[in-house]
Amino acid sequence: MLLQAVYFILIARSLGPGQYGIFVGAISLIAVLAPFSTWGTGNLLIRNVARRKDSFGDSWGTALFVTCVSGSLLLVVVIAVSHFIFSHRAPLTLILLTGLSDLVLASIVGLASQAYQAFEMLGRTAGVAIVLAGCRAIGALLMVFSISHPNAESWAVLYLISTCISAGYVWFTVCRRLGYPKFSRIISIADVRQGFYFSVGLSSQSVYNNIDKTMLVRLATADAAGIYATAYRIIDLSFQPIAALLYSTYARFFQHGLEGIHGTAKYAKRLLPFAMGYGILAGIALFLSAPLLPLVLGRAYVGADDVLRWLSPLIMFRAAHYLLSDALTGANFQGLRSIIQVGIAVFNIALDFWLIPAYSWRGAAWASLASDGLLAIVMYAAVVLLRTSANPIAPADVVQSETMV
């Protein structure tokens, strides 16, 4: 959290709201497609290893191969569509550098984190996050002290270099600690289907978490996007303790999932009071401390304190729907989770198109609150309905197909 905070403050102060808004707008667009770069193979790796330790080599090799191929193809797609979305507001060089960084290199870092997570080696999982955040913080320091007039493109170069160093280091350490990848196993149709569900769900999650920054650049101004993204980044940093809880328990949801939705729902129920309690306290703390934000980041960010007050309930909403969503995933209802998330993503985009042109960042904040709140309600309803159904286990997903592609 400290490294991420340092990195965030340095680039926000150096770039200013306009350039920071353009950078975050580009990153947010790429984040929507980034889950498809791994095709859910990281989640499949966790599921497979949590249930059978000796499957790591095959799962690790499949994940790396899929990521390199799919990430490269998606980079071409992002470059092709960026002109129509940003209308010259984001330079092509920025899209290329950030796309290569997040679609391929950062995805490898994410896979390394999930590899340790699968073995519940959570100190190592945290270490991967520290390496990435530390390299980017060093990159931000280099920008501050070596570039007199930094902009989004100059930061994108350092962003790519820092991510490349992180990816190379964590790949080597995973191979040395857990084993080298094996490329002999061919992915099954069942895994392709489950991977698609994971990718769709994560992409939809990225839509209702990130696409509003991209749309603010397109439909409002880069300054509005920068101020909004700054407050949203504070929300993300404050959510880290709950994210740590989710990382710590994700593999165990799959273990409890052998009992079906009853097992995962019971496990989620044990965790919800801690997560919700923190979410409420953190939201209150952010609401009260919001006036300090312009003092830390500079006068250019006056107004970000108002955005932070609006967004402060998001931590509580997220705490609820993430745990309930993991209960569905652990019980092999990832398909249902993805359908719900797609619906919320469509709902969020519709609200953004309606509210942002008229109300700028306030419209984006209203859309975010409505989307996350509705998602918590729908996930809760899904878990309750499945628990009361006659067939609480998804048999089609428990037994994997032997058909190979």
Cβ contact 268:327 at 8 Å: yes
The answer to whether residue 89 scores a pLDDT higher than 50 is yes
In this predicted structure, which of 16-30, 60-74, 198-212 has the lowest mean pLDDT?
198-212
CA atoms within 13 A on the CB side of 380: 13
Show me where the domains of the chain are located.
1-187, 221-389
The answer to whether residue 148 scores a pLDDT higher than 70 is yes
In this predicted structure, which of 131-145, 325-339, 354-368, 390-404 has the lowest mean pLDDT?
390-404
The predicted-structure confidence for 256-275, as pLDDT tens digits, reads as follows 888 889 999 999 999 999 99
Cβ contact 202:40 at 8 Å: yes
Tell me the average pLDDT across 294-312: 87
Q: Where are the alpha helices (DSSP H) in 150-260?
A: 152-178, 189-219, 222-238, 240-256
> Which of 174, 199, 177 minimizes the C-alpha distance to 341?
199
The answer to whether residue 286 scores a pLDDT higher than 90 is yes
In this predicted structure, which of 295-299, 337-341, 381-385, 386-390 has the lowest mean pLDDT?
386-390
Q: Where does the pLDDT of residue 401 fall: very low under 50, low under 70, confident under 90, or very high at 90 and above?
A: very low
The predicted-structure confidence for 149-180, as pLDDT tens digits, reads as follows 888 889 999 999 999 999 999 999 999 988 88
pLDDT at 158: 93
In this predicted structure, which of 28-32, 256-260, 323-327, 391-395 has the lowest mean pLDDT?
391-395
> Which of 256, 264, 263, 259 minimizes the C-alpha distance to 327?
264
pLDDT at 389: 79
Tell me the average pLDDT across 83-92: 75
Residue with the larger pLDDT of the pair 326 and 247: 326
What is the three-state SS of 298-343? CHHHCCHHHHHHHHCCHHHHHHHHHHHHHHHHHCCCHHHHHHHHHH
In this predicted structure, which of 10-19, 80-89, 240-249 has the lowest mean pLDDT?
80-89
pTM for the model stands at 0.76
